[in-house]
Homo-oligomer: A and B are copies of this chain.
Amino acid sequence: MLIPVRKAVLAHNDAEAAENARLFESRRVRVVNVMASPGAGKTSLILAVARALPEGLRPLVIEGDVASSIDTEKVAAAGIPVHQINTDGDCHLDAGSVRRAFEALPAVSGPGLLFIENIGNLICPAEFDLGEDLRLVIASVPEGDDKPRKYPAIFALADVVILNKTDLLGHVEFDRAAFEAGIRAVNDRAPIFDVTCRGTTSGIGALVSWLVTEPRPERPDSPAMGT
């Protein structure tokens, strides 16, 4: 009984995601789905990227959390339009909740870059397309170099992988080559950016250049949008 229910839920979500993609394009908003473990630094990365965006590209944020509005408060304090989704226990965002959150944001009057901060989780978000242009997965140094081998599904679908908290290399055991090999075992196309978002940020400029120019990939599992 569970499998047909699950398939129906995913098919419904995919249809809503395709609508989202058309909506985002019509509003000239490029959308990045940000996925990571709890505490990998999703909000810090979003804030660092937002500060480094080229002039004329407006940052926007949808914050997903099981509970609390801690991250939304941080983003709002940085002067960035933000809307909170609380899932009340669900382990991922879905396309419908993102659509409603997007419509609750102030209308964008020009090109924008919308970050959707997904629920802190390396499993559930992998199944739910949100209509995003780019899928960004963060792993952080203190989590260890084996995360791509333990959670292959989310690393397989990533368009870009961020290795965050590189300031902690040297303080914890982390084999950078093993980390990259774990990604390459399931994903031969996503670039990997090493960054730190504490104090003097590093690696953010190269990531911003990639994020604002990379075309939306054709995906076997979702309709490719024209440009």
Query: A: which residues have CB within 8 A of B?
Result: 1-2, 5, 9, 37-39, 65-68, 70, 89-91, 119-124, 140, 142-144, 146-147, 149-153, 165, 168, 171-173, 198
Contact = CB atoms under 8 A, between A and B. Distances in A.
Nearest to A123: B91
Instruction: Work out how many copies of this chain go into the complex.
Output: 2
Contacts of A65: 150
Chain A contact residues, majority secondary structure: loop
A150 B120 contact: yes
A124 B122 contact: no
A168 to B, nearest CB: 6
Contacts of A171: 168, 171
A122 B2 contact: no
21 contacts: A1-B5, A5-B5, A37-B37, A38-B122, A38-B151, A39-B140, A39-B142, A66-B123, A66-B152, A66-B153, A67-B149, A68-B149, A90-B123, A91-B121, A91-B124, A119-B123, A121-B121, A121-B123, A140-B142, A142-B168, A171-B171
